[in-house]
Structures are given as C-alpha cells and as structure tokens.
Amino acid sequence: MAYSSANEVLARVPGIATSETGARGFVERLVKQTVIDVLSSQARSALLSDAVVSVILSQLTVTVTYTPLMCSNVRFGVEDVDRLQMKESACIIVDSTVTAICSTDAGRPCTPVPDNVDPKITPVPSPHLTISGSLSTTNIIMASWSRAMWQSVVNRAIRMLAFGPFRRHFFSAIATVGGN
C-alpha cells in the first residue's frame, strides 16, 4: 500500500492512502480480518456456537508490521515516465498498483529507453512489499496447536487475500510460520 499527501497524486490515484498511518492501518485491518475470518470459519466447521467463537477470537492477538511506500509523484505506466521533470522521482502505477520506482540521479530525468529498460526504473523495495506479523492466544486449545495447524491457518488467509478484492497485491504472496 502506498500513500501520499500531494494533492496531484490524491487527485490522480483516488484509492491511495493520505498518510503512512492510514496505509499501515489499512493493511493491518485487512490482514487481521482475514485471519479472523479463517479462524471463524474453522471454528464454525467444528460446530462451535457463535458465542464460543466470539470468546475464542477475543483471546487472539494479531500483530502486523508493514512499511508503506510514500509516493510524492506518480506516473501511469512506463510510457508516462518521460513526462517527469528534472530532479523528480515517481511511483510508477499500473492498474492501481505501484509496480516500480523511477528515481532520478545527478539531475538527469528518468526517461525510458526504446526497450523500456532504464537503470533508474527499479522494483519497489522489499520493505514495502513485506508484511510480517505474529499471532498469539491465551486460549488453551489454540495455544497447543502445532506449527502445521498454524501454517494451515496462514495458508488459508493468504489464499483468501489472493482471491479477494485486493488479489493483485497478494497473488504471489507466501507466508511461513516461524518458531517462538
């Protein structure tokens, strides 16, 4: 998720967050809700009542860490990059998703060469593509789940994200469950 406070960017990219806190919060809520949906579904398939499911979920803590990308300037596709002014950098957006960063150096504009390859057009840095988190619970039953059981929960959450409304952002996501 990217964010910007620049009026031009906000006008051109209506879905972009207006602050780092807003972008981070959106990702946190999305991931937390997906994990809760997976656990709710599992509990209901085990024929637990809504009241019991509610108690179990209240004993769960989901912590998400994410570093949003700040875009003070945007361009739509590599073909739009040649309109960058001197000394400007931009997030390159394709289908409402930031796909690359165009960085200027030594006052030279970032313009694509004929084959659309430019050393100044780089992939989005990995800190802005990585979401990490932790799950903890005080529920005695869930606390004793095996790593394989938790991996199953995380895998289902990733599948839900990959097939949900934000699938473009999660289609190649992977997740692993680590130890304490």
Average pLDDT over all residues of the chain = 83
Q: What is the pLDDT of residues 37-93, one digit of tens each?
A: 999 998 888 898 989 989 999 999 988 889 999 998 888 765 665 555 545 678 888
| 2-to-35, 89, 93, 110, 177 alpha-carbon distances in Å | 22, 15, 10, 20, 26
pLDDT of residue 58: 93
Q: Which residues pair with 105 in a beta bridge?
A: 108
Percent of the chain with pLDDT over 90: 28
- Amino acid identity of residue 120, one-letter, is K
Q: Which two tokens stand for residue 65?
A: 């860490």
d(CA 94, CA 103): 17
Tell me the backbone φ, ψ of residue 92, rounded to 5 degrees.
-95, 125
pLDDT of residue 26: 93
Q: At what angle do helices 147-163 and 20-45 cross, to 10 degrees?
A: 120
Q: Residue ranges of the alpha helices (H) in the chain?
A: 7-12, 20-45, 50-58, 140-143, 147-163, 167-170
Q: What is the pLDDT of residues 143-163, one digit of tens each?
A: 888 889 889 999 999 999 988
pLDDT of residue 86: 41
pLDDT of residue 118: 54
Residues contacting 9, CB < 8 A, separation 6+ = 16, 71, 72, 73, 74
**Which residue, chain included where needed, has tokens 């084959």?**
115
Q: Which of 11-20, 78-87, 134-143 bottoms out in mean pLDDT, i.e. has the lowest?
A: 78-87
pLDDT of residue 107: 57
